[in-house]
Structure 1
Amino acid sequence: MPFQEDFAVERFMDEYEETVEFNAAESCCHSLSLNQLFELTGEKFEFDYSKRFTYGSIQGTPALRSLIAQMYSNSDVKLTKENVLITNGAIAANFLVHYALVGPGDHVICLAPTYQQLSSVPRMFGAEVDLLHLKATDAFLPNLNELVAMIKHNTKLIVLNSPNNPLGSVVPTQLLRQIAAVAEEKGIVVLCDEVYSPLFHSCQQPKSFAQISTLGAVTGSMSKAYSAAGIRIGWIVSQNAQLLKQAASRRDYNTISVSMVDDAITRYILSHRDAILKRNLALCNENLSIMRTFIANSNRKFSFVHEPQGGSVCLIYINGVQDTDSFARTLAEKYKVLFSPGECFGVPGTLRVGLGNSTHELTEGLRLLRAAYDEYIDI
């Protein structure tokens, strides 16, 4: 059977997130209830109680696919529902792109650090995976020259993630265009995980890769920017009809369709996305300000690996603590506060912090982090 790596961050979160008092590791913007959505939007969610619970629209309802296509369109590129495939979260969207494209004998280039799935799934399918390490000297953006040098005759896929998880770095439009040009010249597909888009709180919003590339694919979901991780809806958006067809074919084996209730709630939320994004961008900005103050007053105990430009997470150095996995376990077990250890992203000596949490949860989490650090260092 295929070898599957343990999914480090998901295993860690699952071990502790129901036993802590404060979850400062949460990567989504603070989740909303239907009652809160009603207060925010002024419109109540309504569901047709006469509707029978069939499989529903296999690829997602035309209304939802059209709504998402509109979100990824601009004045130059007009996408339609035919450019969208609905999936069970972004994690299924990413899985399906890899499932459709790579296997033994193929070569994949993936950014690092990033969400582990993006490098572990192609390995599971038998592909050779090389990591393009993001560096401070490049502002934690892909180095184009290094990327070009890594391409082989059998390179099938290049995997990007912007805004980056866990760094919060954002690939600007010009660099996206350059990467697309290199890839398309060589017939290589680029997968750009844009699950944290459009949370661009500290930079200009770049174009989506779906607007730039005719071969590539973009993935997204309701979890991060739209405060609805419990609505298990994600999507693949692409101008590449053949890729979407292949992904839909593989989808028949692992999902068939998504919940028609989730589909309906997603349409309701995305119809009011401006109000929800305004709330979540304000939350991220407020929490980022809190993080800046916390770091500035820490006497160099803590520092940003990279001050985030987008998304709802950031990565911070813990000065003097190299084994942050053990430290994060102490935080969870003794102090009842959850942070994700950097070891989950291949960056020991760091913790990932959620910027989309409630301000109260973040503030209390940071207070406990400071107290735990002082005691931990003295041991």
Structure 2
Amino acid sequence: MKIKDFGVEQWMNEYETKAKYNLGETCVSSFSINSLCKTAGVDEKKFADKLVNRRLTYGAIEGSIPLKEQITRLYQNLTSSEIVTEHGAIGANNLVLNTVIEPGDEVIAVTPTYQQLQSIPEAIGATVKLLPLKRENNYLPDADQLRSLITSRTKLIVINNPDNPTGSLMSKEGLMTIINIAKSVNAYILCDEVYRHLVQNDEYSPSVIDLYDKGISTSSFSKVFSLAGIRLGWIATHDKQLMRDLLSHRDYATISCGQLDEMVGTLALEHQDAILKRNRIIIRKNLAILEEWVKKEPHISWLKPKAGTTTLLHYDFDIPSAEFCDQLMKEYHTLLVPGSCFGIEHSVRIGYAFEAENLKKGLEQVSKFIKGLN
């Protein structure tokens, strides 16, 4: 199967380990086991004893029950049997797309978004129609444009909420509009929700599966729970036949997730309120830092993000984004992701969820670079 090069991942692979200031990071400041236990208020030694004494068998094939029971707390009216674990959200998305989509199917996917959500259906042989998220519409799906794209052949609508890279957030009403359009042709909706809960207020952020029986939610521990290193994610769906199909396909690629990973994930979700409180403080503090920086840079504009850990910064220089980011890296050892990785030129994606001092120092380097372009 031929597939396009994965732009953002290849860019990160090339530059991430070389950067002194990684402003491309998308995860909230990552935990160690020690710092996770401290945030959770758990005795580190007791938890370490559990880890080192666990026999490393395959474990629960479809995901440990304690873990899945904790995941249900992130949704409304969900049972543990409606969840299956995967190797990160990237594994979850891959499994859903390869299970649902067949050659000749029609898929509608928002853009910009995580490229996987567009390129895998295309590689499978589906007709992929792109639904542009436009700045003038706050990077939210345009319902009229979606209606113009959808047909009786549309099998799946793919959205990303909150959106990567823009940080836009669909409301419950916005989600219901998309759902009602999907219902008109009995289409599934896959919503990549890896940034869900990282919001600028404390209100509950609805999932697509809270609202639609053919909704599919994918998520992970990487962004919201600061545990990218455990490589653990999940799929949630109310559709029983779809779950059977997912499990059948999963046998060929996954078997099970790691027992130690699931132990760490369970611990995190048992104390999810403490972790969410910590991580929301980080993103809100850092977004304020970024906002002040944008105000002082006349060549930079943006649409302030509503949620997540990333946003797009637009610049007014006549230089392609890949060249902009490459020069920045070479001259100031500072990493940003070119907007061209998401199909939006003269922009860069920045992450703002890591340590505040690193964000400030990295932005200082970007300012020096911009000054040199004048």
Unaligned runs of 5+ in 2: none
What residue in structure 1 maps to residue 3 of structure 2? 4
| Paired residue type of 2:334 | V
3-state SS of paired residue (1:18): helix
Whole-angstrom CA distance in 2 between matches of 1:311 and 1:68: 19
Match of 1:220 in 2: 219
CA displacement 1:19-52 (0-9 Å, x = unmatched): 1111110011111111111222220334254432
Residue aligning to 1:148 = 147
Which stretch of the first structure deviates more once superposed, 181-190 or 366-375? 181-190
Residue 173 of structure 2 corresponds to residue 174 of structure 1: yes
For these two proteins, the number of residue pairs brought into alignment is: 370
**Among residues 352, 355, 362, which one is paired with 1:365 in the alignment?**
362
1:72 maps to a residue whose letter is: Y
- The equivalences for 1:128-167 within 5 A come to 128-167=127-166
Distance change (3 Å), C-alpha of 1:202 and 1:275: closer
Q: TM-score, normalised by structure 2?
A: 0.96
Could you say what secondary structure the match of 1:214 adopts?
Answer: coil
Provide the secondary structure at the position in 1 that maps to 2:279.
Answer: helix
Identity %: 36
Q: Are residue 302 (structure 1) and residue 300 (structure 2) matched?
A: yes
CA distance in 2, matches of 1:369, 1:359: 15
Structure 1 counterpart SS, 2:17: coil
Residue of structure 1 equivalent to 2:332: 335
- Counterpart secondary structure, 1:10: helix
> Which residue does the alignment assign to 1:100?
99
For 1:173 and 1:279, locate their aligned partners in 2 and report how far apart those are by CA, in whole Å.
Answer: 25
Contact 2:27 2:353 in 1 (8 A): yes
Bigger fraction of residues in helix: 2
Matched, 1:51 2:54: yes
Asked whether 1:16 is paired with 2:19, we answer no
Deviates more, 1:5-14 or 1:200-209: 200-209
Higher mean C-alpha deviation, range 228-237 or range 320-329: 320-329
Q: CA deviation at 1:321?
A: 4.0
Q: 1:325 to 1:52 in 2, by over 3 A?
A: same
Conserved 8 A contact 2:196-2:205:
no
The residue aligned with 2:323 is 326
2:116 equivalent in structure 1: 117
Whether the aligned pair in 2 keeps the contact of 1:203 and 1:309 (CA below 8 Å) is no
Could you tell which deviates more after superposition, 59-68 or 325-334? 325-334
Kindly indicate whether residue 353 of structure 2 is the aligned counterpart of residue 350 of structure 1.
no
SS of residue matched to 2:85: strand
Equivalent position of 1:69 in the other structure: 72
CA distance, structure 2, for counterparts of residue 124 and residue 72 of structure 1: 32
Partner Cα distance (2:274, 2:23) in 1: 24
For 2:300, give the aligned amino acid.
F
| 1:26 is aligned to 2:16 | no
Residue equivalent to 1:315: 312
